[in-house]
Amino acid sequence: MRVGIVMGSKSDLPVVSKIGGVLDELGVAWEMRILSAHRTPAQAEEWARTAQERGIGVLICCAGMAAHLGGVVAAHSALPVIGVPINASLGGMDALLSIVQMPPGVPVGTVGIGSAGAKNAAWLAVRILALSDAELAARLVAARAAMTAKVLNDDAELQQQLG
């Protein structure tokens, strides 16, 4: 299954592109669109409504300011939706609160602001897809082991420098 990624504006792309990088590393296919809850509401709705039939398993929605994109997508699809707040104003706090405070029954699982959040949206999507994909689950285990090895190696180098 693929991951569907959408952002509210081309200005979000430098942050949103981090998602594709992580998914590529884990061998997960994805599609990416620029669609706005406010400027292209009909197209955003259509994209959300038809996502599942395109073989998408998780949706990642990235937006800044009064960030309604994740909520609109979650209103039109029953797939899991992850929201990424973009720092377009007010340090991204406006987007974070817009995305995270959804009414009960229409969740948008919200990650942190900006690039770290974008990367974690990809990691979270992989964890969800890995529940029903044994090969992906094995790649996830290997990636996590590599993370652990890197920190331990960094520490070993530091200890050597410190004598």
Q: Which is nearer to ligand RP5, 58 or 86 (CB)?
A: 86
Q: Which stretch binds ligand RP5 (CB under 6 A): 23-31, 40-48, 60-68, 136-144?
A: 60-68
> How many CB atoms are located within 10 Å of the residue 88 CB?
19
| Per CB under 6 A, 8 contacts ligand RP5 | yes
Residues 36, 40, 43, 52: which binds ligand RP5 (CB under 6 A)? 36
Q: What is the CA radius of gyration of the chain?
A: 17
| Per CB under 6 A, 5 contacts ligand RP5 | no
| Per CB under 6 A, 70 contacts ligand RP5 | no
Alpha carbons 33 and 8: distance in angstroms, whole number: 9
Going along 18-140, which residue ranges are E strands? Answer: 30-34, 56-64, 81-86, 109-110
| Per CB under 6 A, 26 contacts ligand RP5 | no
| Per CB under 6 A, 65 contacts ligand RP5 | yes
Interacting residues with ligand RP5 between 92 and 131 (CB under 6 A): none
Identify the bridge partners of residue 56 per DSSP, sorted by sequence position: 2
- What residues make contact with ligand RP5 under the rule CB under 6 A? 7-9, 11-12, 36, 63-65, 86, 88
